[in-house]
Chains A and B, each alone.
Chain A
Amino acid sequence: MHKYVIKRLIMLIPVVIGVSFLVFFIMSLAPGDTARTILGEDAPIEAIEALNEELGLNDPVLIRYGRYMVGLAHGDLGTSYKSGRSVFTEVMSRFPDTLKLAFWGMIFAVVLSIPIGIISATKQYSLIDSVSMVFALLGVATPNFWLGLMLIIGFSLHLRWFPSGGSEGWKALVLPVITLGTGCMANITRTTRSSMLEVIRQDYIRTAKAKGVGYRSVIYKHALKNALIPVVTVIGLQFGSLLGGAVLTEAVFSWPGVGTYLVNSIKAKDTPAVLGCVIIFSICFSIVNLCVDILYAYIDPRIKSKYK
């Protein structure tokens, strides 16, 4: 097991190299001049040239990438072009807010979706099943920035129950969490339902019933644990979309997290800042998925025996 975890952590290195390579080249292909963006349209051409030279932006792209990677290898995420501060400090000062949003979004999604999925599966084709499946479909299909805007119109503008932005207090958390968690919830509900439907038709469920195990126990003791594997997988993958979704949600609710910072950095063509955000997101995503894989071992002994 330890060996497996170490192997997986080493696998993070190629992931980071791949991600940084892609993002670096996409950023360098994007139109616009960094120094001009920073100094403004009216800045004299000499000043722009000087800044470009100072930031090393006149060098060929491979040299710049090489320089960045040398820094990265030393654990240095570089300095923001725009603010001149360390990218690591800037991202990390915002990261807890994003994580808070993602965490509560996930809690919201999981707490609602798993029970709904179980009920839908055990009462297949009932009214409650149909209703929750329609909502799940709507949840998957609704873009979250739109949902966020609708929630703001409904609950902030008209009802005035929750603030439309900011990050002060639990009230500010409610709308962004719903916005962020709904898509996730819909996906997990559907996965729970289909996985549960498959499991309750298995022979060992019949065996459990034949032993005299009561209905609730059959579902929650025998079926649920078996049904959880695909659910946990989806939760892990959804965490990635939660981080991605945070970019839009944070923009809608002017939430002061990494998402907002990332959007502003892209607008400013601030390559080190963008790279910093993306690298930290990808490491975070990889670690969550590693946790998911470790969790498998605790759910299913057959998987555990393969982790040697």
Chain B
Amino acid sequence: MAEHDSKYTLEIKDLEVQFKTVDGVVKAVNGIDLAIEKGKTLGLVGETGAGKTTTALSILRLVPDPPGKITGGTITLEGKDLFSYSEKEMETIRGSQVSMIFQDPMTSLNPVMTVGDQIAEVIQLHEKIDPKEALEKAKAMLEMVGIPGNRGTEYPHQFSGGMKQRVIIAMALVCNPHLLIADEPTTALDVTIQAQVLDLMQKLREKYGTSMLMITHDLGIVAEVCDNVSIMYAGRIVEHGTLEDIFNSTSHPYTEGLFGSLPNIENRNEQLKPIPGLMPDPTDLPPGCAFHPRCKYCKDICKSRVPAVTKLSDTHLVACLAYEEGTGVTLGGGDNE
């Protein structure tokens, strides 16, 4: 077991998160398993509302409570159960062992603090260091993300979106965390800046040997930065595998749908094949396979039986009835009922 522990930076088992609202219980995360090997990057892919951000916030134990509650499962960081920590202990872990980069750099920095102070604050929280040294270190970190150190005395509104995201990256990595959670770090940025920011993250991550959870809905980013991929739908992992597994032997109809929604670079006239319908209402998830109302291979059994996880290979897992024996569900052809 000890050996097993040391292999992974993060292990999530059977995590369940629910939000109690006036409209009912929102089942945001419904028993997911994730594992990130040391120094590796896991892509967590899914549509808006699939529960990706909630999963990420659970790792920091920052799910807004109320209304949110982690109702089941375990999260293990570096072999230690995160739920066994007190809130005070969690504060020492956030920012030093686990850091997070948020989606919108425009709103993620405190507008009334200089960026230098904001970076120095993390250093001072987690390292025994006097304020002057912390500021010096913050300056050095700014230089490292390609911002002149003397701009540390400026306020967030004096920076562009791409630069703000660099500041946030600097803030997240300055204490050498074991795990970096990046929640759609490039979604709010100009396309021209996206590649720059991704490159920077990759470079720094490799330099520090940080493991990363990359949350995105962009399969292009996944192909560029991830080692493993988990596809999330309606709070469940529907397919998991290495980059090759997912891209070359796509197994789940939802993953197939995601690829179908991408423009084909070789044939630009080709029509996109979007997945019909919308994400189900998380207060009222469909019975059986949550994807069945949108699945073109759906059979009656899909409407009542929850698919189990089937192992296609050592690395490739899928949760679809078509891969379970004796269900009579077959993929291909597409007899949409």
Contact = CB atoms under 8 A, between A and B. Distances in A.
B183 to A, nearest CB: 10
A207 B111 contact: no
Given A212-B125, A212-B126, A301-B157, A207 B168 contact: yes
B91 interface: yes
A302 interface: yes
B95 A210 contact: yes
A203 B107 contact: yes
Contacts of B108: 203-204, 206-207
Contact of B110 (A208, A212, A305): A208
A213 interface: yes
Interface in B72-128: 87-88, 91-96, 99-100, 102, 104, 107-113, 121-122, 125-126
Contacts of B110: 204, 207-208, 222, 226
Interface string A198-209: 000011101111
Given A204-B110, A226-B112, A300-B112, A210 B155 contact: no
Interface string B121-163: 1100110000000000000000000000000000101100000
B195 interface: no
A214 interface: yes
A213 B91 CA distance: 7
Given A225-B112, A301-B111, A211 B155 contact: no
B102 to A, nearest CB: 6
Nearest to A224: B112
Nearest to B123: A211
A211 B125 CA distance: 8
A204 B107 CA distance: 6
B99 A210 contact: yes
A198 to B, nearest CB: 12
A201 to B, nearest CB: 9
Nearest to B157: A302
A302 B111 contact: yes
A299 interface: yes
A212 B94 CA distance: 5
Contacts of B308: none
A299 B88 CA distance: 30
Interface residues of B, number: 30
Interface string B50-64: 000000000010100
Nearest to A228: B112
A203 B62 contact: no
Count class of interface residues, chain A = 20 to 34
Contacts of B102: 203, 206-207, 210
Given A211-B94, A212-B95, A212-B126, A301 B112 contact: yes
B62 A202 contact: no
B112 A210 contact: no
A213 B60 contact: no
Contact of B93 (A202, A212, A215, A302): A212
Nearest to A210: B100
Nearest to B99: A210
Nearest to A298: B112
Nearest to A223: B110
A300 B126 contact: no
Task: Point out which of A202, A226, A301 has the most chain B C-beta atoms below 10 A from its C-beta.
Answer: A301
Contacts of A212: 91-96, 122, 125-126
Contacts of B107: 202-204
A215 B87 CA distance: 10
A222 B95 CA distance: 16
B194 to A, nearest CB: 19
Among A206, A209, A212, A213, the most chain B Cβ lie within 10 Å of the Cβ of A212
B15 to A, nearest CB: 18
B109 A204 contact: yes
Contacts of A208: 110
A209 to B, nearest CB: 6
Nearest to A125: B66
B12 interface: no
Nearest to B94: A212
Contact of A209 (B92, B94, B126): B94
B220 to A, nearest CB: 25
A76 to B, nearest CB: 46
B157 A305 contact: yes
Contacts of B87: 215
A300 B125 contact: no
A296 to B, nearest CB: 11
Counting chain B CB atoms within 10 Å of each CB, which of A206, A207, A209, A215 scores highest? A207
B42 interface: no
14 contacts: A204-B109, A207-B168, A210-B100, A210-B102, A211-B94, A211-B99, A211-B122, A212-B92, A212-B93, A212-B122, A213-B125, A214-B88, A222-B110, A302-B111
Which 7 residue pairs across A and B have the least CB separation, nearest first? A212-B95, A212-B94, A211-B95, A203-B107, A301-B155, A204-B110, A210-B100
Given A211-B121, A212-B95, 4 more contacts: A207-B102, A211-B99, A212-B91, A301-B112
